[in-house]
Structure formats: C-alpha cells, structure tokens
Chains A and B, each alone.
Chain A
Amino acid sequence: MEFLLQGLSLLMAPKVLLIICISSIYGLFVGAMPGLTATMAAALLIPFTFFMDPVPALVSIVTMSAMAIFAGDIPAALVRIPGTPSSAAYTQDSFELTKQGKAEMVLGVDVICSAIGGLMGAVVLMTSAPLLAEVAMQFSSFEYFWLAALGLSATVMVSRGSQVKGALAMVLGLFLSTIGVDITLGLPRFTFGSVELLNGVDFIPAMIGVFGISEVLRNVLEGEMSYPITRVRAGKIFSGMGGLLRRYKVNILRSGLLGTFIGILPGAGADIAAWLAYAVSKRSSKEPEKYGAGSIEAIVDSGTANNSCLAGDWVPALVFGIPGDSITAIVIGVLFMKGLRPGPMIFERQPEIVYAVYLAFILANLLMIPFGYLAIKASSQMLRVPKNILMPAILMFCIVGSYAINNSIFDIGTMLLMGVVGYFMEANGYPVAPIVLGLVLGPILEQNFMISMIKSEWDLTLFFIRPISAILGGLTIIVWFFPVLAAFLEKAKKRNSL
C-alpha cells in the first residue's frame, strides 16, 4: 500500500501529468497517421526520455503506446488503412461497417474496447508481475540464458512471413550487440580502430534508424496519398454502447485475457494479439459469415486484445528484462539508460517505479476515453496533414534525436546506416523487430552463457540439470523445432486425407 501511494504521488506530480497529456496527443497523432507505427513513435520519444526522470520517461512510453494502438483504428475505419499494424486484422470489417453508415458505432467500440482491454491488461500486469518476480529471484545465469534464448526464438517463430528471414534479422541484431569490448577478456571486437565503437553500437540511434528513418524512406517512396475521408459525428459514438458491451461481454473478457497472455509471451506484440483474437472470435461466433464483410464482433475482440497486449508485454520486460515486443525492447533500453536494471530486483529496490508504471496503465486507459473522443472529433483534420511536410519534420527529429544523446555526429551515421539496412530488409520481406530484440538481448544472452560456462568449467549439462533451467531449455528447443514439427504434421495429415 505504501508503495502504491508513493507511485501515485510520483504519477500525480504536475510535470508528470503534463508529460502524460503531451504523450497522449503525440500517441494519438502518430497512431492515426497511416504509415507511422507506434514503435516508430516510441523510438522518436527516446531522445526526450533521456532527459527525463525514470517515472516520467516510462509513463510517457506507456501512455503514448496505449493511445497510438487505439488511434490506429481511426484510419482503419475511415479510410481503410490501418494506422498501425495492430489494427490491420479488423481494418476490412471496420471499413465495411463505415460504408454501411456505422462509422460512429465502430469508433465508439474501438475506443471503449481499447480502454477496457488496456485496463484488463493492467490488472493482469499488477497481479502477475510481483508473483513472477518472486520466482525469478531464484534464477541464475543458466535460467537467464534460456530466457533470452526463448525470447529470441519466440520472436522468430511469430514473425510474419518467412521465419528464416526473421531468424536472419535476429542474428544480425545479435551480431551488432557483439561489436565493442568483449566481456571475457576486454578485447575490442569488430571496432576497426574506431573509438566510438568501443562502447558498442549505441542502441538509440540504431533504433531510430531501424524504425524512424526506414519509415521516412518508405513513405517518400510511396508519394503523397490522397483518400476520401468519411466525416464522423463524434457526439454519437457512445450511443447504444451499453447494450453492445453487454451482448459481447464474454468476447471482451476472452480477448482481454488472450491479448494479455500473448503480450506476456516474449516476442509477440499487439498485432499478433489482434490477429489471434480475430481468428478465435470467428471460430466461436454465431455469425462467422460476417467476418470480413463488416462484423462488429470481430472489432470488439481484436480491438480489446491489441490494447490488453500492451500491459502484458511489460510483464517479461519488468520481471526478467526480456522484452515482450519491440516497444518494450525500447523500454528496456530506457531502463538501462536510467541506470535501472530490469529484473526481479527492481521490485525490491525501486517498487515505487513499478507501481507508478502500473498506475500509468490505468490512468492512460481511463484517459483514453476523453482523449479518444477528441481524436475522433479531430480525425478528418488529422488525416489531412500532408505527408510531404510531415516526413521532412520526422527526418529532422530523427537526426537531432540521435545526435542529442551523445552530441555525436557519429551517432547520426549509425542511424543512417541502420535506417538503410532496415529499409532494404523490410522491402525484401525481412521483419525488422527481431534486429532490435537481438540488439537488446544479445549482451544478456552472451554474458549469461559465458558466466555459466566459466563457473561450471565448461560443463554444458548444467544447463539442463537445474529444474527451471531444464524446463526453459526444453521449451526453447521445442520452439526451435516447431516449424519442422509443424511441416511434418501437415504432411502426415495430407497423407492421411488422401
């Protein structure tokens, strides 16, 4: 209770409340702009968080991401383009209903279900994280090695498109993390005589490059998009909402829990939660034929799941230091930047910060209703902001943002290079989120492996003798062989059906 009150007082400081409001507006704007993602918004936010205290820094990311994931629903409903990939699953349904003159109902469901989903996720985060942290207290380097390996493997498994390409992106991130002074002998690796590279590839410019610059490059390639925008009567978005929520209360509960669970799984983010909730919803619906042709049930389910996933993503990030998705990978970078080491000890040493994060999730999701209402009201103006002005502005924020951390031109070069790499990889079907997860988890993976090997005098069996380590190791190996197993089962199934 004491920590809860401390967290509350940290959150209620006027400066923090102001940051919450600004982050909300920023998140709503970026989320509602087609082509800009919540991860890009988080990457651009880091240079600012660098100059903030830990609580406002973390709270700004919580608020921004919650608002951005909701706001992605607005262009999905109004112009049939998802604002962020998390709204892609139900874009078709949203737009079909808009064509039927039900845009207000769709946006009302979007904002309310996002808020309910977010609150459910926050409750699960508050209850499960401290319990898991107690278990994590018994972890040693063996368990942390497997956790990092499991997180990376899960990221590859759930990456959309080719899993081999996902794996290559992850290995690239891991390789980038090896640049700099090695932990065993202090040997400079792959620095080619550069003093700047001795500390390794700086996480922040790399992140801004992969998520910011690559977005700018892609957007300027596509040129200016123009689309007819449906006008919305914002005053009507909540009418009939009570009945709708009562009718779909089971869906909301199911998808809220499913989304949070997906979030807790390392590597799986809000977009996957939305797609899975959509599939589960269709399978259990009494009207599956409506899916794709304008199903409000699909929107209820997926819209709840993607926002509930956000809080779930923070569970492995806070408890184990293993990111749940690309946004929490950024969060882990921010925690390290602030001198805070994510892991079970943060619950012992800085519980007030953890409680402030819990409360920020609740506050952000409560604020989502009035802020969401205002965003819907301003939607037609927001969607008219020309990209040919927005993209140069984002470019300049990327340049100055990556320079600001170390006041170094070298960091702008890092950002430029990573932006080009990210752009080309994504253009050729390689997912870029695993690069960042590899970059964050690389040192954890290597350090814990080397520490384990040195203290066990190179006895590999110890990775499988400790009970929790054995379970985590077993799970990781199952994930590695899952694609092979799935292909084998598929073949067997086909053979049987012949």
Chain B
Amino acid sequence: MKKSDLIGGGIFIALGVFIILLTLGFPTLEKGHPGPALFPRILAVLFIAFGGVIFFRGGKGEKKGLEAETREEVLVPKNYFNPIFVLILMVAYIILSNWLGFYITSTLILFLLMIKLRVSYRRGLAVSILLTIFVNLMFAKLLRVPLPIGFLGW
C-alpha cells in the first residue's frame, strides 16, 4: 500500500466531486445545450477517473514509478522544517510588507532565512541588506514597480 498515492488519488477524486457540485447551478445555453458547465464537468470526470486509478494502485501497493525529475541524489540530511519556514516567511511578507514597507520586510525575511540556513549573523545581515538594495534598484528604480512603502515611508 502506498500512502501518498491513496491520499493524492483521494484528493483528486474529492476535487472532481466538488467541481461537479459547484457546476450544478451553472446555466445552460439555448435549447438546453451545455454551456459554462460542460468543460469543468469533463475535467471533473477526468479527475475522478485518473484519481481513482492512482487511489486503486496505491491501495494495491504498486511499485514506485520513475521520479519526475532525474536528478542525482546526494546523501545529505534533510531539513523538513526549512520548507515550512520558507512558507511562513512568505505569508509574513504578504501580511507585513504594506505595513513595514519593502526595505524592512525584505531585509528581515532574507536575514531570517539565511540564519535558518546557517549563514553567519554578520554575513547574513550584510547580504540581506545588499540584496534588498539590489532588488529595489532593479524593480523600483529600473522597472518602476511601486514596491510597498510602509508607515515609515521606506
């Protein structure tokens, strides 16, 4: 039994059922021909069919296929918290950038991530500041993107 396939297949089946439920209220075209609901419903059926295959295979414990990316595995210990930390930082950017402004939020996020990835404090701070200035130069000055300013006007 392969747990990830059972879960993956289950999610896709559930998504298919959810789409069908959502399309039940969609109007039809003239003479009752299917309109906006047609394409999503076809996709929902495909989600259920293919998801079912994956779910069924997971239950039967089919051997693992080739990985999507052919990449040499390097034996290094994995840090499972690191990806979660990256996501937390991105959410923090979404919440804080309009309040703190780009300079502070970017420096803070870069610095925290570098420290988490074991860069020294001094080097991490210096690189974070320089990178923030570089990104600001590229986007705000060169491409004229109005980056968040924040309450300090930075």
Contact = CB atoms under 8 A, between A and B. Distances in A.
B94 A412 contact: yes
A288 interface: no
A164 B54 contact: yes
A395 B39 contact: no
Contacts of A482: none
A289 interface: no
Contacts of A213: 86, 90
A463 interface: no
A175 B72 contact: no
A141 B64 CA distance: 40
Contacts of A458: 33
B152 interface: no
Contacts of A412: 90, 93-94
Interface in B33-87: 33, 35-36, 38-40, 43, 46-47, 50-51, 53-54, 57, 64-72, 74, 76-80, 82-83, 85-87
Q: How large is the interface on B (under 10, 10 to 19, 20 to 34, 35 or more residues)?
A: 35 or more
B70 A85 contact: yes
B83 A164 contact: no
Interface stretch (A117-125, A386-394, A467-475): A386-394
A425 B68 CA distance: 10
Given A160-B70, A389-B114, A404 B139 contact: yes
A168 B54 contact: yes
Contacts of B106: 396, 400
Dominant secondary structure of chain A at its interface with chain B: helix
A159 interface: yes
A388 B66 CA distance: 29
A388 B79 CA distance: 13
B131 A396 contact: yes
Contacts of A224: 76, 117-118
A453 B42 CA distance: 15
Contacts of B100: none
A185 interface: yes
B104 interface: no
B142 to A, nearest CB: 8
Given A222-B78, A412-B93, A429-B68, A400 B145 contact: yes
Given A51-B143, A82-B72, A189-B36, A162 B79 contact: no
Contacts of A91: 72
B46 to A, nearest CB: 5
Contacts of A225: 74, 76
User: Closest 7 CB pairs between A and B?
Assistant: A388-B117, A182-B36, A220-B82, A217-B83, A88-B70, A431-B68, A404-B145
Interface of B: 4-5, 8, 12, 15, 19, 22, 26-27, 29, 33, 35-36, 38-40, 43, 46-47, 50-51, 53-54, 57, 64-72, 74, 76-80, 82-83, 85-87, 89-91, 93-94, 97-98, 102, 106, 109-110, 113-114, 117-119, 127-128, 131-132, 135, 139, 143-147
9 contacts: A35-B71, A168-B51, A178-B40, A220-B83, A222-B74, A227-B74, A389-B114, A400-B102, A403-B145
